Structure 1
């Protein structure tokens, strides 16, 4: 009887209903696109011809004759690069004055793949002014940043990238909040800008993680990658190079001692730093089987004076080149030899 007044908590999570809703929405969206394609094929040529003919002073009267379907058709086939600037201005004016959320959402998706089109940029700004705090469903804090970027004198990309550079949040999280699609041209430009301006310090690597930075490098073109790597390498001493970043560089560009052409983007200083990093790691690996680090600790003091290090696996021997002599280290402790260029000295 004492348990009769107790009730078990019950939570209902309609997973199947949620999945079904997503399927219905997708089916509806596909059907809507089919209708738009069909309507566009028949109605758009006539609509464009009317827009070309109408004078700017009579554009508002012309808008009164348009319906929502006309606006959907106009944004569906945007950005009309083959039209004159005057016609494109009219189209933007119509889409701005008769704004619906589909206009802003489509413009933002198109801009991410075509970041240079001036009319597309203007349409995005118009969309933001119309939607304000509802634009793309982005939360208020991130929307304020986008709003400032849209008004930046240096351009939208500069405004967004500057915040991305300074943000304390992970860059991928921020890009997601801005509804920027992974792999888009806009994403690549923002990331490249951020890395070019920020890789001279460790902040971005610490904030995003080295694995993410390496992923960004992998997505870069050859020229962009070299530009980014140059910033990273020439801003610091080889002693603090990140192993994974350098490992990726050697794998992608090969050994600079054997393939110098791939490394000619670096200054002499930068190239020497890379080589010294390689000497250090080759000696560390060679002495790795020692019971202690005494031999490695001894030789790493002279890294800055070395001209090359060539380790061999069979026989286990390492040639350490200096200006006037060569040191031969064997796998067995206590078997080092020094050779002058012309005379052997034991």
Structure 2
């Protein structure tokens, strides 16, 4: 009896060990985005389902020596097609205010697997191992290959039968924290980082302005609320409530509060999710002039349980003695 193994397209990426490369890895995982400095013809028709970002072994060695080494990998699900990025996003791009990695795609980090063998006994076999090595010899350009995802999911501790599903349940994937990326600590998160409150506010306002313009073009009267949701839209007897999110990265995932989730799930409400990605933030302007953006619009939005993963917890303190 011949068993058919379901194989899927992977994009295998080698990430260098220089401090700037490790900072980019940390930030790419944090913002669910990755990119390359140049395109390849095969990217135009590629629809990879998974990405492996691997680091910890230098690739410029003979193949025999490469196969004796071990490496750390970050297993991700690919959530967007390849697209041309227009916004400086990673730390080195922000520092130079230029787009160095225009070929981009969205990733959903699933798990980290440490100290993986690069020989034929690894979870990706010789084909995946060689793809990582070739990526490293070409400045981290992603290499496409067909692999059975199940060994990698098993190695990552993800309880998902890929042959029976089309997506990995997010609530069953361990993910990882950015602290697990052994990147050198930066002296300070500069103005280019989303953690900068002024920049974050400017991005949110730009996304909200785009959402308001969209609904007004559709004949809605729009009121900006902020809480418990961003926009309240009315048109004759219709009512629609809108959550708005903005990012300079890819449209992969967004942060939600428990109140936002519960509000969207309330059957009495009609809620849309309006996401603007790849927003260009001009760091030369003191107030962060914003432009551009790609819209992902989800009408009658309902956040399913398998697409949610906790990032924070409320801890109840024990009674004092």
TM range (shorter): under 0.3
**Higher share of residues assigned helix:** 1
Higher RCO structure (Cα 8 Å, ≥6 apart): 2
Structure showing greater Rg: 1
